[in-house]
């Protein structure tokens, strides 16, 4: 089913923002100009602009022309754990190239994160992830053996590992995410098409089932010129000083 016209207008402008045709700080064409360009009503154009404002791509209003304020598209929290679901949700094309799926003894960091004894066997996965064909992320995941062994019956180049595991009945319920910056190793640089030592955004993740039992430890490394993270928080009226926190991922 095709997108409604306001969705197509938003997609067209979103594409111009992400490819740099409309750089950060640039004003968007006037509503009248956009109406003429897309043969659309003013209401349709305003709906498209509202969508871009909601995503944090543009700012302005109340008599001021909208300007580009970001080259990124926010990701809803529900899809934070799945790169494929996130990319699909923003109209980008996710891709993957599997570099390794191996059964081996857990390293000390993964063993500690998963609550395993040193030397316990896990299933390690190394994948390069792409956005619209460009390298964006190098994934390193260690799954507990009871979960990871299912991946030997799955082609990880075919799509989302999480979607497959959930379809197999694995209770992937939640995750704890730690985000920091690291320098690219030689392996990172070779696969992400960047220089050794270049800054990367790292997301370390521990995925758990609904009882809190760890199922996966991941060390994912993103090119910061292609993916960024934003934290949104809002005060809860019901709990006074308590705050609801939402982390979103963005693509450049």
pLDDT number for residue 78? 41
CATH superfamily of 77-251: Chorismate lyase-like (3.40.1410.10)
pLDDT number for residue 75? 45
Q: At 221, phi and psi to the nearest 5?
A: -125, 120
Q: At 233, phi and psi to the nearest 5?
A: -135, 145
Annotate 217-243 with b (16+ C-beta within 10 A) or e (fewer).
Answer: bbbbbbbeebbbbeeeeeeeeeeeeee
- Write out the chain's pLDDT in tens, 252 residues: 456 888 889 888 988 887 788 888 889 999 999 999 999 999 999 888 887 887 678 887 656 778 887 665 554 434 456 788 777 767 788 899 999 999 999 999 999 999 999 899 999 999 999 988 999 999 999 999 999 999 999 999 998 898 899 899 999 888 888 889 999 999 999 999 999 999 999 999 999 998 889 999 999 999 988 887 766 555 544 444 444 445 456 665
Tell which residue, 194, 228, 214, has the closest CA to residue 141: 214
- The CATH architecture one would assign to domain 5-68 is Orthogonal Bundle (1.10)
pLDDT number for residue 14? 84
Tell me, yes or no, if the two domains 5-68 and 77-251 fold the same way: no
The residues spanned by each domain of the chain are 5-68, 77-251
């Amino acid at each position: 089913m095709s997108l409604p016209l306001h969705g197509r207008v938003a997609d067209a402008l979103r594409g111009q923002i992400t490819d740099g045709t409309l750089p950060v700080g640039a004003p968007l064409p006037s509503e009248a100009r956009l109406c003429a360009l897309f043969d659309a009503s003013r209401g349709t154009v305003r709906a498209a602009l509202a969508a871009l404002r909601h995503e944090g791509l543009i700012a302005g209003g109340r008599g001021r022309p909208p300007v580009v304020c970001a080259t990124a598209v926010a990701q809803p929290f529900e899809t934070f754990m799945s790169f494929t679901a996130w990319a699909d949700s923003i109209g980008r094309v996710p891709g993957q190239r599997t570099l390794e799926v191996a059964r081996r003894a857990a390293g000390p960091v993964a063993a500690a994160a998963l609550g395993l004894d040193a030397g316990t066997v896990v299933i390690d996965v190394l994948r390069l992830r792409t956005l619209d064909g460009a390298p964006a992320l190098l994934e390193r995941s260690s799954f507990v053996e009871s979960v990871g062994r299912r991946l030997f019956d799955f082609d990880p180049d075919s799509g989302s590992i999480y979607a497959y595991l959930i379809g197999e009945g694995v209770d992937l319920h939640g995750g704890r995410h730690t985000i920091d910056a690291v320098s690219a190793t030689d392996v990172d640089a070779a696969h992400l098409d960047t220089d050794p030592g270049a800054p990367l955004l790292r997301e370390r993740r521990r995925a758990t089932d609904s009882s809190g039992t760890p199922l996966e430890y991941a060390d994912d490394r993103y090119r910061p010129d292609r993916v960024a993270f934003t934290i949104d928080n809002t005060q809860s009226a019901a709990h006074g000083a308590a705050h609801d926190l939402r982390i979103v991922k963005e693509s450049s």
